[in-house]
Amino acid sequence: MKSPFRYFDSSPEVIRLVVMMYVRFPLSLRNVEDLLAERGIDICHETVRLWWNRFGPMFAAEIRRKRVDHMRAYTQWRWHLDEVFVKINGEMHYLWRAVDHEGEVLESFVTKRRDKAAALKFIKKAMKRHGKPRTIVTDRLRSYCAAMKEIGNADRKQTGRRLNNRAENSHLPIRRRERAMLRFRQMKTLQKFSAVHAAFHNHFNQDRHLISRDDYKDRRSAALAEWKTLAA
């Protein structure tokens, strides 16, 4: 298999570092350029844009494939579904998100409406990739009820005042990135970045507030070691 880095003069290690810094942290293109300059790496901010657009989806797809293969071996207990408003060029769009009971982002989906058709397409897409959960927690949006009735799993739906906090909290990282990027300008850019960002967030999120310092350091080292092998 040919290396995806064969047309670039920079080393794969530098490219992986640039993509990780831009997608994982709330940094602008020029912030990444300045931080790399401190390390003696001289690149333009447009190079950062080129590399994340080219290699970000590839890295995310490899991370997602490994995690989905692992997750499908276990029963899906509970999903949390929620949608958030995102304004693109003055027009309102909706970013749908599905997370599991541990906060793992399963699917991100962008639509112009939040009606039954959009909810149905989003739920089918998530189930096709991850399987069917035992319980689905949503808010009181009627589109979820109509979509789940058509699928035939309306009996698995739960709605509560604070039951869906898991999904609502999952929107916070992408909101921070939205502010750093001065908002999104195209619907396809939002879809692309949200999918890539979700995969990176899942890979590097170690729930450091729930484990000891030593366990966190071990998991962080394992995640970084696995990151360095992507597209090797």
Q: What angle (nearest 5°) sits at the alpha carbon of residue 69, between those of residues 67 and 70?
A: 65
All CATH 3.30.420.10 domain ranges of the chain, comma separated, are 78-204
Q: In what order do the strands lie in the sheet with 157-159?
A: 105-111, 91-100, 78-88, 135-138, 157-159
Nearest to 119 by CA among 140, 148, 139: 148
Architecture of the domain defined by 78-204:
2-Layer Sandwich (3.30)
Return d(Cα 16, Cα 228) in angstroms, integer: 7
pLDDT level of residue 161 (50, 70, 90 thresholds): confident
Return d(Cα 99, Cα 78) in angstroms, integer: 9
pLDDT digits (tens, 9 = 90+) for 76-119: 789 999 999 999 998 999 999 999 988 889 999 999 999 999 99
Q: Specify the residue for token string 């509560």.
A: 160
Tokens of 167: 């999904």
What pTM did the predictor assign?
0.90
